Structure 1
Amino acid sequence: MSHDPQMAARVWRGLRTLVLERYDRRKEVTAALDMSFIRAKALRHLAAAPMTMRQLAAVLATDAPYTTLVVDDLVRRGLVVRDVHPDDRRQKIVTATPEGEKTAEIAERILGEPPPPLLDLDPADLATLDRILATLVK
């Protein structure tokens, strides 16, 4: 299989433009939830499964002090609770509250909404793109 680095770069630029510039849903999420995207991202992860502070910092790629600030704010909002880990009393585990799960669902709904150009694609083109993306993200 031959590789065309220029074509690959053009495709990559197109994907970045589509997702991160023209249809960046992060702004919609921050406006709808009235919180920074990193807080929304943390909440989405916590709604999926409780995590230790260390695990959360790793998935957010943030340091411990900043992760603590994020969690403190989510606790203040009533969206998560922080408890002593049942298996290791030296660690804290953070769990989404029912209100936090509802808020995370709003974020997921916004982030999951396909942009109009994707909805307008010819069905065969959409199927081809689906197949290609499934290969790329496996």
Structure 2
Amino acid sequence: MSEERAERVWRGLRSLVLERHERRREVCDALGMSFIRVKALRSLAASPKTMRELAADLLIDAPYATLVVDDLVRRGLARREVHPEDRRSRIVRVTPEGTEAAARADSILSAPPPPLLSLPPEDLDTLDRIVARLLSG
């Protein structure tokens, strides 16, 4: 019974996040790019990376990372520079426009859905405690 309840809760959480209030489509529409490009942009906004580091961070292969970065560069959101410690290597950094776009993506992705905002404070406190416990375990 406990496993069935856990599965029901998990289905509900997945539905809430991935179906009813899925922010991926919203952020893709707002920025006019695929979600993998949004993820790459946010990763690069957090810190410059080599192509190999970016590919590992995104769990994609190097040729695909190159296509993603090529598109970000073409859009003026990122640039390739000579790596300061290895002149044979390149490092990818976001441009000021890329920083703004990444911040916009973060804002969209972190916005709580209306049903969550409408919960009473005591329910939010309970949910906050449960989520913290799930994340710590």
| TM-score interval for Structure 1 and Structure 2 normalised by the shorter chain | over 0.9
The equivalent of 1:56 in structure 2 is: 54
47-56 or 81-90, which deviates more: 81-90
Identity %: 65
d(CA) in 2 for partners of 1:105 and 1:55?
21
The DSSP-based 3-state class of the residue aligned with 1:58 is helix
Shift of 1:88: 2.1
d(CA) in 1 for partners of 2:88 and 2:6?
48
Unaligned runs of 5+ in 2: none
Unaligned runs of 5+ in 1: none
State the one-letter code of the partner of 2:47. Answer: A
d(CA) in 2 for partners of 1:99 and 1:131?
37
The equivalent of 2:123 in structure 1 is: 125
Shift of 1:91: 2.6
1:56-135 matches, within 5 Å, as 56-135=54-133
TM-score normalised to the size of structure 2?
A: 0.94
d(CA) in 2 for partners of 1:7 and 1:91?
51
How many aligned positions are there? 136
1:74-101 Cα shifts (integer Å, max 9, x gaps): 0011101111211123332111111000
